[in-house]
Amino acid sequence: MDPANTSVLSRQDTFTDTGSCTTAPLKQCQTTGVSLEALMVRAATGDQVAFAELYDQLAPRIFGLVLRTVHDRARSEEVTQEVFVELWRIAARFDPARGSVWSFAATLAHRRAVDCVRSAEASRARETLTQEGVDLTVDPADVRLLKTERESAVRTALLSLSSPQRQAIELAYFEGMTYRQVATHVGAAEGTVKTRIRDGMTRLRRVLLETNVGGV
């Protein structure tokens, strides 16, 4: 059964952060007294009524948990919905012997929230690189590394590279050239330029780690 077709997941709910109670144990439905484990077992068989009860009990707490990581209300509501879509899909995987329904759902929520934050950060990084004219075929992690070129440790590390490696890296990262442009500028094959940059970045990282600048 497609979870998107369940009525509870098509609702447009506005969640309320339940505050500190998101960390409090929740073992049964507060309106019917049915255990959450029992509701989950029924939901695993396709019981939409049971899943709706489960949703009503967990959604505010899951939203609060997600909001504390995402820090954006609208996106947190979307992530909360995504959590319950996944919960419906994998309900049959729940094993009461391995933990509570709350811990099962909270683990999914934390993972989704972290993914959301990482995705947003990656998107912002790409937008920044695009605005700066940086070649996006270059690893963004390497770009962040070389943004610290003003630090003496990085300048010293660059001096440890061979002249061709240093020249290729400076043109690609500091001048914003593409691999093809670097190749034309230095009169070398594009594949050769890529190898110089890759090997140079590998050595640069190693040198920085050896000099305790591993956090860049």
Number of structural domains, the chain?
2
In-domain check, residue 147: yes
Q: Interhelix angle for 48-70 vs 73-89, to 10°?
A: 140
Is residue 121 located within the same domain as residue 174?
no
Which residues partner with 28 through β-bridges?
Answer: 35
Is residue 145 located within the same domain as residue 124?
no
Mean pLDDT (the chain, rounded): 76
Is residue 15 located within the same domain as residue 83?
yes
How far the first Cα of the chain sits from its last, in Å, is 47
Residue finishing a domain among 130, 161, 180 = 130
Residue finishing a domain among 84, 102, 130 = 130
List, for residues 202-214, the tens digit of each pLDDT value. Answer: 887 777 777 654 4
Amino acid at position 190, single letter = E
Is residue 151 located within the same domain as residue 192?
yes
In-domain check, residue 82: yes
Instruction: Read off the pTM.
Output: 0.53
List, for residues 14-66, the tens digit of each pLDDT value. Answer: 555 544 344 444 555 455 568 999 999 999 999 999 999 999 999 999 999 99
Is residue 30 located within the same domain as residue 78?
yes
Query: Regarding predicted confidence, which is higher, 2 or 103?
Result: 103
Burial class (CB in 10 A: 0-12, 13-18, 19+), 11: exposed
Is residue 73 located within the same domain as residue 160?
no
Is residue 175 located within the same domain as residue 97?
no
Nearest-angstrom CA–CA distance, 101 and 44? 12
CATH number where 92 lies: 1.10.1740.10
Is residue 101 located within the same domain as residue 119?
yes
Q: What domain range includes position 159?
A: 140-210
CATH number where 195 lies: 1.10.10.10
> Taking Cα atoms as reference points, which of 52, 84, 40, 88 lies closest to residue 66?
84
Is residue 50 located within the same domain as residue 20?
yes
What is the model's pLDDT at position 214?
Answer: 45
In-domain check, residue 216: no
90: DSSP letter: T
List, for residues 63-118, the tens digit of each pLDDT value. Answer: 999 999 998 999 999 999 999 999 999 999 999 888 899 999 999 999 999 988 88
User: Using 50, 70 and 90 to split pLDDT, how confident is the model at 7?
Assistant: low
Cβ partners under 8 Å of residue 180, min gap 6: 190
In-domain check, residue 109: yes
Query: Is residue 141 scored above 60 in pLDDT?
Result: no
Is residue 33 located within the same domain as residue 101?
yes
What is the model's pLDDT at position 211?
Answer: 64
What is the model's pLDDT at position 24?
Answer: 43
In-domain check, residue 40: yes
In-domain check, residue 135: no
What is the model's pLDDT at position 63?
Answer: 93
In-domain check, residue 180: yes
Cβ partners under 8 Å of residue 105, min gap 6: 58, 62, 83, 87
Is residue 98 located within the same domain as residue 80?
yes
What is the model's pLDDT at position 190?
Answer: 86
Is residue 21 located within the same domain as residue 122?
yes
Residue finishing a domain among 104, 130, 156 = 130
